[in-house]
Structure 1
Amino acid sequence: MAAPPYIVFAGTPVFAAVALRRLLETGYRIGAVYTQPDRPSGRGRRLVPSPVKDIAITHQLPLYQPATLKDKASQTQLAALAPDLMVVAAYGLILPTAVLQIPPLGCINIHASLLPRWRGAAPIQRALLAGDKETGISIMQMDAGLDTGPVLHTARYPIQPKDTAAIVHDQLAELGAEALLQCLPSLLEKKANTAVLQDESRACYAPKIRKEEAWLDWSQPAIFLERQVRAFNPWPVAQTQIEGRILRVWSATALAKTTHVLPGTLLAVHKTGIDIATGNGTLRLLEVQPAGKRVMTVQAYLSAHLLTPGTVLVKSPGKTKSP
């Protein structure tokens, strides 16, 4: 009887950990795990292992944490493991062509978008910023390009009106694990390849999120500012300034109410929200976080802060363009 396929798993954050856990629960033979080196975190800058590393240690799986896979030593080490297949999910390191060619069945990637839309590092946030009605998971046969390989399987997720990046992330992590399990059997049994080439004419890119993108530019439409708030929850969190103090915005909703005042003007203050004029419509803040404080409802915030309608919020240092 032939030995079960030997899979090497490569991933780092929670998104990848969900898939690794499901593979182990389903009984797949994970011969080794690759994850990024431990990173410093918190005020003490203590080295913290990745969620994928935690699972590997719990299950006593061989663990590798190279800083790169571009050097010959790392490639020789991986080749010595003789994997049949490499499963990749949010690994965070580039897999050079030499690595892609090591497993006979290649390397497949769990990508959090419906390719070719949103190739790149931040597909969830970019989908929310663009106002996409749906996103999903693509199981992709990896090649030398950036998320350009043929797609083996897709699973769709309809974006809900109040979905944040945190919510979509969790939904897609579970959906990605399920999609992987659905397409693995035929791939491992070397059945007919049903991979679909991507339509390059429809490709768009999701560059890494920069902290300065989180500043709310009140000249933008309210609907776009609401998307920013949802896309940047839980990181880097949308923010503005009131009387020189940074205020992070965790939850907000766009209102159709039009105004003829300067964008950024404080229109109304009440226990259900703080209404602010924008370039088109009104944005109502619902949950906020003053510097150095916890996240709180607007009602809790107003109990400690006196705000006067007519105040103009400081224009954000970094402008954010709407799509």
Structure 2
Amino acid sequence: MNGRRRTGIVYFGTSDFAVPPLEALLADPDLYEVRIVVTQPDRPAGRRQELKESPVAAVARGRVPQVLKPDSLTDPAFLETLQASEPDLLVVAAYGRIIPETLLRTARVAPLNLHASLLPAYRGASPIQAALVRGEKRTGVTLMVMDEKMDHGPVVAQAGVAVGPQDTFKSLEARLSQAAAELLVGSLPDFLAGRTEAVPQDHAQATYTRLLRRQDGLISWSRESAAQIERKVRAYDPWPGVHAPWSKDGRPSRLKLLEAAVAETASGDPPGTVKKTAEGLPSVATSEGDLLLRQVQPEGRAPMSGADFLRGHQELPGSRLPDPADNPLP
């Protein structure tokens, strides 16, 4: 392609991760023409359940000729609109749906995807959370050519990102999205000029993630270590959150864990046993090590410090919290 012709792009994205790559494309209008942005429909949000547009829609509004929010990607009218835009590239980043093959074929050069892992590791819907839960020290982003299978196509380029010991989903997502933006605009010139060859993935090394469900946040004191639960607290904020069963006034309830840390020393008590530390925090024994509860949210209450929670429940030290392995909640 000669340098005078702008690359026409249809951009698919929804979440915060997809915002910096879109911003990077819009920042260079001499090279890239984002003709259409496709994002998820507005969803109810907040206590009032008012409709809210996606982060990508908010950025694209007024800056991109068309912002589409289709309920179905197989709608013939939607397909005709994409075909009429004659895109050189489809660029997909955290859109939230599988792109049908009929749409992939609308790209004159290639359909590209930005994925938040170093493929073939962590294909699927929750790669950032999976890296945190597994205790990875390094993850990254991949720019790949899309095919009919999920996160399966050949790799154009990758960039590694370190995972810090205090990283949460949001903090790691923010760094990965910036890395994705830099990778995209840094790789496109050579790719479009034919100087970069996409390399097939080693499919035998592929690992997979899935869409997280609320029950994934339910922890077991007897089956998980303090380190595993602490990583989940950081990985599953804000969704699905981490919670444990407990008994309030003799009734089953849930306790959400908002901030936790692994205690320096292990008590050796049976899993679920609660102790009060010198700092006034609740410490709970697990299958390996003890977990300090720095911030919690009892069901139906506002978030509070672990110390405030313990002051309101002075019967807890010395008792054992219920465990889903023995007393599953309905």
- Determine if the TM-score, normalized by the shorter chain, exceeds 0.5: yes
1:315 to 304, 307, 323: 323
Gaps of 5+ in 1: none
Task: Look up the match of 2:226.
Answer: 222
Task: Look up the match of 1:4.
Answer: 6
How far apart, in 2, do the equivalents of 1:127 and 1:217 lie? Answer: 20
The letter of the residue matching 1:5 is T
How far apart, in 2, do the equivalents of 1:111 and 1:318 lie? Answer: 39
Task: Look up the match of 1:194.
Answer: 197
How far apart, in 2, do the equivalents of 1:154 and 1:306 lie? Answer: 52
Identify if the C-alpha distance between structure 1 residues 300 and 267 changes in structure 2 by more than 3 Å, giving closer, same or farther. closer
Structure 1 residue 298: deviation in Å? 2.1
In the alignment, is the contact (CA less than 8 A) between 2:310 and 2:316 conserved in 1?
no
Deviations 1:98-150 (A, max 9, x none): 21111111111110000000000000111111121211100111111100011
Task: Look up the match of 2:56.
Answer: 52
Structure 1 residue 294: deviation in Å? 3.5
User: In the alignment, is residue 268 of structure 1 matched against residue 271 of structure 2?
Assistant: no
Secondary structure, aligned partner of 2:27: helix
How far apart, in 2, do the equivalents of 1:16 and 1:60 lie? Answer: 15
Secondary structure, aligned partner of 2:44: strand
Number of aligned residue pairs: 319
Task: Look up the match of 1:290.
Answer: 298
Secondary structure, aligned partner of 1:242: strand
Structure 1 residue 256: deviation in Å? 5.6
Secondary structure, aligned partner of 1:124: helix
Report percent identity of matched pairs.
37
TM-score normalised per structure 2: 0.90
Task: Look up the match of 1:21.
Answer: 23
How far apart, in 2, do the equivalents of 1:270 and 1:288 lie? Answer: 18
The letter of the residue matching 2:211 is K
TM-score normalised per structure 1: 0.92
The letter of the residue matching 1:99 is L
Secondary structure, aligned partner of 1:31: strand
In the alignment, is the contact (CA less than 8 A) between 1:150 and 1:198 conserved in 2?
yes
Structure 1 residue 30: deviation in Å? 0.9
In the alignment, is the contact (CA less than 8 A) between 1:112 and 1:136 conserved in 2?
yes
How far apart, in 2, do the equivalents of 1:168 and 1:223 lie? Answer: 18
2:184 to 180, 195, 217: 180
In the alignment, is the contact (CA less than 8 A) between 1:243 and 1:314 conserved in 2?
yes
Task: Look up the match of 1:66.
Answer: 70
User: In the alignment, is residue 301 of structure 1 matched against residue 309 of structure 2?
Assistant: yes
Structure 1 residue 272: deviation in Å? 5.6
Deviations 1:168-215 (A, max 9, x none): 111111111111111111223x22332121111110001111111111
The letter of the residue matching 1:149 is G
The letter of the residue matching 1:252 is A
**RMSD of aligned Cα (Å):** 2.1
